[in-house]
Amino acid sequence: MGTYIRYHRNNNLFELRTQNSRYSFFLRDGQYLIHSFYTDRRKKPEEHTVSPRVHFSPYSEEQGKDFFINNILREFPGFEEGDYREAALKIRNQNGDCCTRFIYKKHQIFPGRQELPGLPFAEADETTETLAITLEDKISKCEVMLYYTVFAACDVISRYYTVTNRGKAPLRIERCMSLSLDLSGRREMDWISLPGQYFYERNIQRVPIFEGIQGCGSRRGASSHYSNPFFAVCNRSATETKGDVYGFNFVYSGNFQTQIEACRESSIRIQTGLGQDCFSWLLEPGESFTTPEAVMTYTTKGLGQMTRNFHRFIRNHILPKETQHTPRPVVLNTWEASYFDIDEAKMLTFAESAAKNGLDMLVMDDGWFGARNHDRAGLGDWQPNPEKFPNGLKAFADAVRAKGVQFGVWIEPEMINPDSNLYREHPEWCLGVAGRRPSLSRNQRILDMANPAVVAYLKEMFDQTFRDFEPDYFKWDMNRNMSETGSSFLPLQRQDETAYRYMLGVYDLFAWFRKRFPHAIIENCSGGGGRYDLGMMKYSCQIWTSDNTIPEDRVRIQFGSMMAYPAETMSCHVSNRKHLTEDSRYLNYAYQVALNGTLGYELHLPNMSQTVQQAIAEQIREYKTHLEFLIRQGNYYRVLSPFETPYSAYYFESEDQSHILLTFLQNKGETPRTVKLKLPSADQNARYRDRYTGEIYEGFQLKKGFTLTTSEANHFGRMWALEKI
């Protein structure tokens, strides 16, 4: 019997416990898995498993007239069996119908977890436990193994399943949701999501749950700027510090679907997974299909605790282990300073300036390869341009490192320009639909990563390009979404598998990069934050949060991102986007915004005045001295939301509660007024000293709230580095 997962034989009850939550379901009549509760570990659960009878609800004579399949809370709902709500799995069987009824067969509890073939997944630790339950549909000969993996210290449970065709005829999966959760009661509830668009990603949206189906998703071939796989369901009265909150996320980077179905029969069905719009899968006899992993958390302590649960989980179980406890480099990226206008001599001046001012790395962006002097040619030809780098890339990288900084490089492996040698040799290696003219976006098409030959070619090409040396950093970009999503490699009956197989190819290439360049940091980018998801975070310890580096906009983008993802995943740069960098107030404000992630710079540093260079050097010293690890490893608390007020305020608290970094940001000037800042986690019996001013604060004063006077000036920021004394 496990420590966190137990099966009680006396009442056929499965119980999954985390540090603060309990999740339970039971087996009725040896056949059906019925959800009991998902609640606080210390609370006595209220069990609601069967709703009142509703007219016209079918029942099974075998189960009796009090068992209405449409009214019960289910762990794994099938299709066309009298449950009219959304199914977790829909298959078309050899008879041509989609009716299934999955019945319990067996279960096992074991330490650790199973790996997901070809997919990103959360890593186990010494306390991780897994429950595997086998279900079968005897007519279709389809077998499903449900996996529940408990990450107890993070209050997170993961869900996914494997479908196996045990019959003698093919099956087709037509709908696939990794997680399905039925909640009882007609509570007043809201759901929270992170919608957006290019340049304005991850806004926090909170709306009431209405009767019927609501949700979000992506058909773009990526999790996208417009949607995000994270969402939450909470009591209408839930706040940052109190209230029931259920949080969910999907460990996948492609098309997805999230649905919340509120039923008149007093229940809410919550699902997330691949859906059905851009996915189906042909399952031959003997074959298996494993869904991507979904994760969930529950707390009674409000939205703030849900956020901290996910932050801890991502840091400890998703992000690459090799980057966990080492400083992240402060980088100087060349894009906004030079765009495609780069060469060896110019880049070396950037490297020299970076070293002089305390930056750790030069990241050479687009324009170093092939005929890449603009965005109309060269993508796909990953050999260095001999006119720009006459001595080769290794000699250039050695020269950069000789200046005292590391070397990083921009790549976009998944894309191709029609004006490229690779396209002229292999036009069939692009996604496309027979007989239809392919669309372009940013003058590029998408390589068919569902074709193993394409992935193998890319591995060989990058191995050759970087054979003599290993870059310290890759910025991996992906700058368009899918259209005409077909593969010349796949047969006709498997065309609906293209987008999913594409992501498997992408993950394969990412995994190869991690193995081939084990010491390199990979920063993921997709036109900014178009793939800001747990799937990418498995391979990329940080993500280019948005192409929008204007601090006034970044305040909202970063605040929204932190609802679900920890600060260290956000790559945040001080840039020259508005050409105001010489303004000392603007420069300081841009830094105060950017340091609440992984700090970097994106400007023409060699051309900056000596005053600006000295200010940047001081910013970097401060960041490295006492801020970086507090921001990366500290617990995060929201104080004022820029989606609800004209301000943004938040703080990071060290795990031992001895240090607090509080930031207040005000984009636009106003008639001065007082604003109260409350730090709910402060020790009310302690005293704190602000490192910046020397001022002493009583803990009870911080907890109750202290006042700040706002500014008449634009770009006003204030920080407190509080230390217990």
With a cut of 70, say whether residue 473 has pLDDT above it. yes
With a cut of 70, say whether residue 62 has pLDDT above it. no
In the chain, domain spans:
5-318, 322-545, 637-724
pLDDT band at 647; cut points 50, 70, 90: very high
What's the pLDDT score for residue 64?
60
What's the pLDDT score for residue 68?
77
- CA 631, CA 596: separation in Å to the nearest integer? 6
With a cut of 80, say whether residue 50 has pLDDT above it. no
User: Which CATH architecture fits 322-545?
Assistant: Alpha-Beta Barrel (3.20)
- pLDDT more than 90, % of the chain: 90
- pLDDT more than 70, % of the chain: 96
Q: Which of 208, 219, 211, 179 is nearest to 89 (CA)?
A: 179
What's the pLDDT score for residue 1?
54
- CA 412, CA 525: separation in Å to the nearest integer? 9
Q: Report the pLDDT averaged over residues 623-634.
A: 92
With a cut of 60, say whether residue 202 has pLDDT above it. yes
What's the pLDDT score for residue 34?
95
What's the pLDDT score for residue 109?
98
- Strand-pairing partners, residue 218, are 256
Q: Tell me, which fold does domain 637-724 have in CATH?
A: Immunoglobulin-like (2.60.40)
How far from the centroid of its chain's Cα atoms is residue 662's Cα?
A: 25
> How high does pLDDT run on average in the chain?
95
5-318 against 637-724: fold identical:
no
Which carries the bigger pLDDT value, residue 627 or residue 185?
627
Burial class (CB in 10 A: 0-12, 13-18, 19+), 606: middle
Q: Give the catalytic positions in this structure.
A: 477, 547
pLDDT band at 466; cut points 50, 70, 90: very high
| Residues 632, 568 contacting (CB under 8 angstroms) | yes
State pLDDT tens for residues 290-307: 999 999 999 999 999 999
pLDDT band at 21; cut points 50, 70, 90: very high
* CATH number for the domain running over 5-318: 2.70.98.60
Concatenated DSSP letters for 163-188?
EEE-SSS-EEEEEEEEEEEEEES---
- CA 365, CA 358: separation in Å to the nearest integer? 20
Alpha carbon of 412 to those of 334, 347, 350, 437, 506: distances in Å?
16, 20, 22, 23, 12
Q: Give the count of alpha carbons within 13 A of 32, CB side only.
A: 22
What's the pLDDT score for residue 322?
82
With a cut of 70, say whether residue 628 has pLDDT above it. yes
**SS3 state of residue 17:** strand
Which residue type is seen at 612? Answer: V
- CA 439, CA 545: separation in Å to the nearest integer? 27
| Residues 474, 522 contacting (CB under 8 angstroms) | yes
Q: Report the pLDDT averaged over residues 452-475.
A: 97
With a cut of 60, say whether residue 52 has pLDDT above it. no
State pLDDT tens for residues 97-131: 999 999 999 999 999 999 999 999 999 999 999 99
State pLDDT tens for residues 335-350: 999 999 999 999 999 9
With a cut of 70, say whether residue 60 has pLDDT above it. no
- Strand-pairing partners, residue 298, are 246
Question: Two tokens at 634?
Answer: 């500290």
Q: Give the count of alpha carbons within 13 A of 640, CB side only.
A: 19
What's the pLDDT score for residue 579?
64
Concatenated DSSP letters for 345-364?
HHHHHHHHHHHHTT--EEEE
With a cut of 90, say whether residue 66 has pLDDT above it. no
With a cut of 60, say whether residue 540 has pLDDT above it. yes
- CA 549, CA 512: separation in Å to the nearest integer? 31
The tokens 């997901």 sit on which residue? 116
- Strand-pairing partners, residue 263, are 267
With a cut of 80, say whether residue 192 has pLDDT above it. yes
State pLDDT tens for residues 262-296: 987 678 999 999 999 999 999 999 999 999 999 99
pLDDT band at 682; cut points 50, 70, 90: very high
Question: 61-65, 255-259, 644-648: which range is least confident on average?
Answer: 61-65
Q: Report the pLDDT averaged over residues 652-659.
A: 97
With a cut of 90, say whether residue 43 has pLDDT above it. no
State pLDDT tens for residues 559-617: 999 999 999 999 999 998 766 678 899 999 999 999 999 999 999 999 999 999 999 99
Backbone dihedral angles phi then psi of residue 446, each to the nearest 5 degrees: -110, 130
Alpha carbon of 699 to those of 681, 683, 688, 705, 706: distances in Å?
9, 5, 7, 10, 11
DSSP 4: S
